[in-house]
Amino acid sequence: MSERQKIDRIWVVDRVDREIVSLVEDESGATRDVPRRDLPQDIREGAVLRVPVDASGEPDWRAATTDESLRRERLDEARAALERLRRRDPGGDVKL
C-alpha cells in the first residue's frame, strides 16, 4: 500500500447543488459542503471520492478522485442486503 493510500479518506456525495456539493465522510459520518469547483468535474450524487489529507489533517479537495469500482461494490452490497430483507418479509398487512 502506498503512502498516499494510507492517508486517503472516503467521502460520498450526498447532494449536488449548482455551486455546492454536500459530502459525508465514511469513517466518522461527518458532513461537509464543498464548492463544486474544488471537486472532479464529473461529480454526481452517490459518487465515492478518495480524498487525500494534507499535512494539517484537512481534506485536499482539489486532489480528490472518484472511485467507480468502490461505488459499484457498495451498490452491489446494498442490493444484496435489500434482497435478503425482501426474502424475510412475509408480506401482507402489519398487525399491531
Residue 86 has pLDDT above 90, yes or no: no
What total of structural domains would you count in the chain? 1
63 grid coordinates? 486532489
The residue segments making up the domain with residue 24 are: 3-88
**Would residue 74 count as lying in a domain?**
yes
Instruction: Please give the model's pTM, rounded to 2 decimal places.
Output: 0.76
**Would residue 44 count as lying in a domain?**
yes
CATH number of the domain that residue 17 is part of: 2.40.50
**The one-letter amino acid at 85:** L
Please tell me the distance from the alpha carbon of residue 80 to that of residue 34, in angstroms, as a whole number: 32
**Would residue 95 count as lying in a domain?**
no
**pLDDT, tens digit (0-9, with 9 covering 90-100), for 13-69:** 999 999 999 999 998 999 999 999 999 998 999 999 999 998 888 999 999 999 999
**Would residue 55 count as lying in a domain?**
yes
**Would residue 39 count as lying in a domain?**
yes
**Would residue 81 count as lying in a domain?**
yes
